[in-house]
Structure 1
Amino acid sequence: MLQNENIYLFLAILPIVSFLYSSIGHGGASGYLALMALFSFAPESMKPTALLLNLFVAGIAFYYYYKEGYFNKKLFLVFAIASVPLAFIGGTIEVDASIYKKILAILLIFAILKMLNVFGKENDRTKKVKLWQGLAIGAVIGFFSGLIGIGGGIILTPVILLLHWGNMKQAAAVSALFIWVNSAAGLTGQLSSGVSIEKESLLLVAIALTGGVLGGYYGSKKINNKNLRYILAFVLIIASAKLFFI
C-alpha cells in the first residue's frame, strides 16, 4: 500500500479529509475510498482500510457530539437494529472491481451533496420516525455499507434531515455511532470471509486520527469550514468521475 509513488501526497491529504468528515459527524470512508481511487490503490485493499479508518474517526466524532448532548438514542436504535446484521452480510460479499467502482461512484454523489450543504437546511419541527421506516432504511444502508466499505452516514444524515427526524447536530451524532457499528460489522464480515488488514493501515489510522480529533472537536462547537468543504467536494467529484469512466 505504501509503495505508491505519490504516497506522501496521499498522507498529506488524508488528515484533511478526516478533519472535514469528522466535523460533520462522519467517519470519512467515502472520502478515503475516493482518495485511494484517485491514487490508484488496489481495490482489494481499499474496502478494509476505509472501514478500519472509519472505526477510529467515527468513534472520535461520536465522542465529541455525545459530549455536547446531541445524541438521540432512540433515533439511533431504530436504524441500527437492522443495519448491523446487514452490514455484516454485505461485508462477506466480494464484488467485481468494475461494479464496485460504479457503485462507489454513485455513493460519492451523496458525500458531494453533503459537503456542498445541499441537505443542510433544518426544520424546527422534528417528526418521530416509525419503526418500519427505520428498519427498512437501516437495512438497505447497512447492506451497502458492508458491501462497499463505508459506514452509511453519507446516506443516513441526508435522510434524517430531509424527513425532519432530527436537526443537523442530532443527525451528526446519530450518524457517527451508526457509522461506527456498521463499520465494525462490515469489517468483521470481511475478516470472516478471509480478507486481511495490511500492517501499513495502522500508520494511516494514526494520521487520520489527527484530523479526526480536531474535526470532531471543532464540528461539535458550531464551526463551519465552508471553503474546505468546497475543496473536498471538488476532489470527490474528480474521484467519482474517475471511477465512472476509467
Structure 2
Amino acid sequence: MVVLALLFAVTAALYASVGFAGGSTYNALLALAGVDHRVFPVIALVCNLIVATGCTIRFARAGLVPWRRLLPLLALSVPAAWIGGMLPVPKQLFLWLLGGSLLVAAILLLLQREREMEPHRATFVGPAVAAPIGLLSGIVGIGGGIFLAPVLHLIGWDRAKRVAASASVFILANSIAGLGGQLTKLSGHPELVKAATAYWPLALSVLVGGQLGSRAGVQILPAVWLRRLTALLILYVAVRLLIQAWGG
C-alpha cells in the first residue's frame, strides 16, 4: 500500500501540473497491484474527483473555462456517466472495456498534438462524442478528459489552455456522476464498499500530490514527456488486461 500510495501521489502531482486528474493511470496502477476489479472504478473516481477539483478551481480563477461552450458537453456526458456507473458489468466484459479504453487512451496520448489556433465558432463533434465518453467513463472509472482533450485539439475547438480547462471540468463532472452511479450499484454489496474504503490512503496521497502539482503553477515535466511516459505505462497495462480477458 505504501508503494502504491507514493505512485498515486506522483501521478497526481504530474497530472495536476498540466491540468488533468490521472484516472487512466490510477486504473493502470490498480491493475498492476492486483486490486479487485469491482472496486477499481470507485477508487479511481474518488482520486480523480480530488485532483480535478483543485485543477478546476485553478482554471476557473484564471478565467480559462469556456463555460457557455462547455455546458452542452456536460449536459450530455454527466447523465451518461451516471448510467455507466450503475451498469453491472461482468468481469470479462469489464476487462475488455478497461483494456480497450486504456489502449485507445495510450494511442491518443502518443498522437496528441496541441495546436494554438483560432477556435471554430460552430462544431458538432464535441457534443457528439460527449455522451459516449461519459458512458465509458462511468463504467471503467475515469473522468474522460484523456479522450475528450485530443478530440477537441484535433477539431480546433479552442486554444490549448482553454481545452485543458474544459477537460478538467469535464473530468470533475463525470467523476462525480460516475462515482454516484458506482456507489448506487455497490449499495447492495457492503463487502465491496468496505474493500474500497480500505484504500483511503490513496485519496490522501492524491490530495497532497495534486495540491503540490497544481500550486507549482508550472509543468513538473514537459507535457510531451508526461504524455509519452504515461502512454507507455497505460499501453503495457492495456495489453496485459486484454491478454487476461482473451484467456478468459
TM tier, smaller = 0.7 to 0.9
SS at match of 2:92: helix
Shift of 1:134: 3.8
- What is the deviation of 1:69? 2.5
SS in structure 2 at match of 1:98 = helix
Residues of 2 paired with 1:28 and 1:78: CA distance?
24
What CA distance in whole angstroms lies between the structure 1 residues aligned with 2:130 and 2:235? Answer: 26
% identity of equivalent residues = 31
Give yes or no for the alignment of 1:162 onto 2:154. yes
Q: Which amino acid aligns with 1:238?
A: Y
Q: How does 1:78-97 map to 2 (within 5 A)?
A: 78-97=72-91
Unaligned runs of 5+ in 1: 1-6
Q: Determine which of 166, 169, 187 is the counterpart of 1:174.
A: 166
Matched pairs, number: 237
Q: Deviations over 1:75-103 (max 9, x none)?
A: 22121011111111111101121221222
**CA offset at residue 222 of structure 1?**
5.7
What is the TM-score of this pair, normalised by structure 2?
A: 0.87
- Asked whether the equivalents of residues 108 and 147 of structure 2 are also in contact (C-alpha less than 8 Å), the reply is no
| 1:213 equivalent in alignment to 2:208 | no
Alpha-carbon deviation of 1:21? Answer: 2.0
Higher helix share: 2
CA shift at 1:199, angstroms? 2.5
Over the aligned positions, Cα root-mean-square deviation in angstroms equals: 2.0
Indicate if the aligned counterparts of 2:16 and 2:213 stay in contact, CA closer than 8 A. Answer: yes
The answer for unaligned runs of 5 or more in structure 2 is 188-192
**Mapped partners of 1:137, 1:67: distance in 2:** 27
CA distance in 1, matches of 2:136, 2:20: 16
Q: Report if aligned partners of 2:56, 2:169 keep a CA contact under 8 Å in 1.
A: yes
> Distance between the aligned counterparts of 1:66 and 1:153, measured in 2?
17
- TM-score, normalised by the number of residues in structure 1: 0.87
**Equivalent residue number for residue 121 of structure 1:** 114
1:107 to 68, 84, 101: 101
Quick one: distance in 2 between partners of 1:43 and 1:19? 25
Aligned to 1:51: 45
1:25 to partner: Cα distance: 2.1
